[in-house]
Amino acid sequence: MRHTAITVSTAIAVVLGSLSLSIPSMSQAGSSTIDEGKKIAFDRKKGNCLACHQIEGGSLPGNIGPPLIAMKARFPDKEVLKAQISNPQKNNPHTMMPPFGPHEILSASEIDKVVEFIHAL
């Protein structure tokens, strides 16, 4: 009886293990977009977010803007975050943050990728 229980539990573990490998998680599905957004955000000639913001994994961050942490809690709606990144002057005409969209610093596609990265922080 003991041998049968071990065999059955081993078989279940093998089946469950193979199921978990075949079902991609949500974080894996969007990880390439997030990685691309990170590259743009950290690129000193593109997003250059590190010039003003402290971001986990970034080197030589600035301190003009707030640290980019807990972004899902701060911006539960990605569209609001996208609007802030694209044209922050709409909500605050005196902001130092550049309008990445209107000034064509980033394309709409690049802004979408940066939003995915920043929202994942």
Domain ranges of the chain: 26-119
Per-residue pLDDT tens digits of the chain, which is 121 residues long: 455 444 444 444 444 444 433 333 344 446 899 999 999 999 999 989 999 999 999 988 999 999 999 999 999 999 999 999 999 999 999 999 999 999 999 999 999 999 999 999 9
What is the C-alpha separation between 10 and 17, in angstroms, rounded?
Answer: 10
Predicted local confidence at residue 30, as pLDDT: 66
What is the C-alpha separation between 2 and 119, in angstroms, rounded?
Answer: 50
Contact status, residue 61 vs residue 48, Cβ threshold 8 Å: no
Predicted local confidence at residue 50, as pLDDT: 94
Predicted local confidence at residue 31, as pLDDT: 81
CATH architecture of 26-119: Orthogonal Bundle (1.10)
State the chain's maximal CA–CA distance in angstroms.
76
What is the C-alpha separation between 103 and 32, in angstroms, rounded?
Answer: 26
- The pTM of the full predicted model, rounded to 2 decimals, is 0.72
